[in-house]
Structure 1
Amino acid sequence: MHDLKSLQAFVDGASVDDAVFALRPDYRALLIAVDGIIPGPGDEMSEALLREAEAAACALLRDRPVSEVPHVAAWREAYRAFGAKPQRTRNSLEALLRRAPSGLPRVNRLTDVYNAISVLHQVPAGGEDLDRYRGSPRLIRATGEEPFDTVADGEVVIEYPEPGEVVWCDDADVTCRRWNWRQARRTQLTDETTAAPFILDALEPMTDEALHAAADDLIYHLSRFSPDIRVARRVIAPDLRSEN
């Protein structure tokens, strides 16, 4: 169990390297740490939220391809800036938007809620198991020597990011590759997760107001099935100011 003080210490300990801000001066990270989550399978609430997100995505894509959605285009540009090919390794928002017309994945209530919020607010969002973290999250440009614990062809493997790749990591290893492309196996959410950090990644044209609205919506829906949650949050921006 994590009290509010420890949750705030977790988000206050997070950092974004100057090299990332040099790559994208418009980048902001909104971190949310939540404890007191009641785990469970998808239910009527999460299903309704997913259906709302699917309908919103279909409306958004009615007159344009996914790649021309402004928020997706910004992330494609960011991926190219550190050498990734966005048509091969899609940011998490684009991946969800492409799946939405045929149906978003149904995983568990917690995952389903944050996936729906990602689509509804057009912001890449990641959720992980707080109890599996080692220290606080850091966003860096990799040296290429940081291990990444993943699964390939059904087998557990250790991969390594490309030098210069933007990755989230903790004190142990990489927790998410290519900014918001693929999360590590070690910290992934499970059906028993009761405490979780969420990271919302923002680039222009997303405004600070829209970013906070996405966070507020996520916290609101988490509280619908976990009314006693404890929440700490923080924004990390390139001018080094933070907002709680």
Structure 2
Amino acid sequence: MTGPSMQQWLDGATIAPEVAELRPDYRVLLIAAEDLIPGPSTELGDKMLTDAEAQATARGEAEDPTVNPHVAAWHEAFRAFGAKPKRVRPSVDALLRRVPDGLPRIDAITDLYNAVSVAHALPIGGEDLDHYSGPPRLVRARGDEPFEIMSGGQASTEHPRPGEVVWADAEGVTCRRWNWRQCVRTRLTHSTTRAGFILDALHPMDDAHLDKAGQALIDALKQASPSARFATRLLRAERHPA
């Protein structure tokens, strides 16, 4: 096993006070899992995605995701650090806009968290803990941190803009613009068996709804991987002391 243990990943997670200054209402539910069964898309994932598509369509979010107040709040959060959410969309917004043409079927684990993201209208990310370096940190970027991508089929490195809200570990940025795009290094693959999931919430989503979404994800992962083990942590943004 490489990378942090489940408990190390959870216990060491931090939210920088500078992020809390932007959105003091921000909370993140972190879920760590081991002994997951990876691989290609499954019938369970396909059914959950189909159900989520129907829910989003019925709520009117497939036509305009921002009719959901929580998605609209994420647009506000992106604008607060200088991003243009109609160009670089929060992950849940981008998923909801794909509903009319059908959500992508990616792999056994990603399909499950994408389905929960759409069904509950909140951003969710998945990280391979074996490729993570230390605990996750939500910070405002300096601008020189490495962010690994694939460009034209080749590995490449870019950098966030100064002040951008990013998730990072000891090696670099793992997700740009809060929940917009994940790096190549820590993304889930067909060999991932240990994963960390990041569930992002702002007002008006309350803790009860956030917990419900987290439990839906755990239940789905348990159904797909009966021997899997889980640990969770709810982390709140905290401003600098007065």
State the TM-score bracket (shorter-chain normalisation).
over 0.9
Structure 2 residue aligned with 1:153: 152
- In the superposition, the TM-score normalised over structure 2's length comes to 0.94
Q: What CA distance in whole angstroms lies between the structure 2 residues aligned with 1:148 and 1:9?
A: 23
Query: Contact 1:57–1:101 (CA<8 Å) still a contact in 2?
Result: no
Alpha-carbon deviation of 1:152? 2.5
Deviations 1:116-152 (A, max 9, x none): 0000111100001110000010000001011100123
Shift of residue 109 of structure 1?
A: 1.1
Q: Residue 29 of structure 1: SS of its match in structure 2? A: strand
Structure 2: distance between partners of 1:58 and 1:132? 36
The reply to whether residue 116 of structure 1 matches residue 115 of structure 2 is yes
Q: CA deviation at 1:71?
A: 1.3
Q: How does 1:15-164 map to 2 (within 5 A)?
A: 15-61=14-60, 65-164=64-163
* Matched residues, number: 238
Using the alignment, how far apart are the partners of 2:63 and 2:183 within structure 1? Answer: 32
8 Å CA contact 2:62–2:98 kept in 1: the answer is no
Residue 180 (structure 1) aligns with:
179
In structure 1, C-alpha distance between the alignment counterparts of 2:118 and 2:135, rounded to whole Å: 26
Extract unaligned runs of 5+ from structure 1. none
Which stretches of structure 1, 4 residues or more, deviate above 4 A after TM superposition? none
Equivalent residue letter for 2:72: A
Which amino acid in structure 2 is aligned with residue 138 of structure 1? Answer: R
Aligned to 2:216: 217
Q: 2:28 touches 2:200 (CA, 8 Å); kept in 1?
A: yes
- Of all paired residues, the percent bearing the same amino acid is 54
Cα deviation code 1:26-62 (max 9, x no counterpart): 0001111100001122222111101001101111217
Deviating more after overlay: 6-15 vs 28-37: 6-15
Q: Note the aligned Cα RMSD (angstroms).
A: 1.6
Report the CA distance shift for 1:62/1:126 in structure 2 as closer, same or farther (over 3 A): closer
Aligned residue runs from structure 1 range 165-244, under 5 A: 165-239=164-238
Give the secondary-structure state (helix, strand or coil) at the position aligned to 1:198: strand
* Aligned-partner Cα distance in 1 for 2:150–2:68: 30
1:14 aligns with 2:19: no
Give the aligned residue type for 1:120. A
Cα shift at 1:238: 2.5
